[in-house]
Amino acid sequence: MFELKQINDPFSQEFKELYALYEEAFPPIERRKLEILQKMIPEDNGMTFCAIMLDGKAIGLFILWDMIDFIYVEHFAIFSKIRGTSLGTQFLADFLEKNKTRTIVGEIEHPTTDIARRRKEFYERYDFRVIDENYMQPTYSEDDDGFPLLLVANKKMSEEEIISCKQNLIKKVYQCEK
């Protein structure tokens, strides 16, 4: 039903449409600058920049990193014109079923606004639980100091696994040594 289509050309029309969604769905502090993302996409760095496809049409964006011990979902968004149709819910259920043996990790905002509370509840319906409530997302640029988020996972993780997970994110995804 759903398919992830990897986007390898960061100058294609497909990429431009997904990047517009990326800008709409995530505040500047939670996303990479266009030039950096365009440089990263063709590299073999572990990041997979995907269109979420349904019946041959892009319905959203999914950026993931396949680590040895877990899959890190960096960004997940559905086009605004089809939000509220349950396609995002169906896609996530499908993705989790296809990856049921893997630990899936993500970051979400603290539930201080109505939309952030709904987003947290959305992930909780799929057994995602906070594994670090004091998590500081490393900066995407030298212009800021990072951003406080909740680190969540769909499976229970030991303290050692959480520490290793955060070290992998810092080194590989955010490419820093904090």
Model pLDDT, residue 142? 67
Name the pTM for this structure.
0.93
pLDDT of 145 strictly over 80: no
pLDDT of 66 strictly over 70: yes
Q: What are 101-126's pLDDT values in tens digits?
A: 999 999 999 999 998 999 899 999 99
Of 8, 11, 14, the residue nearest 56 (C-alpha): 14
* Average of per-residue pLDDT across 77-106: 95
CATH number of 2-173: 3.40.630.30
Q: What are 20-63's pLDDT values in tens digits?
A: 999 999 888 889 999 999 999 999 889 999 999 999 999 999 99
Distance of CA 54 to the CA centre of its chain: 19
pLDDT of 100 strictly over 90: yes
Boundaries of every domain in the chain: 2-173
Label residues 5-15 b or e (16+ Cβ within 10 Å = b). eebeebeeeeb
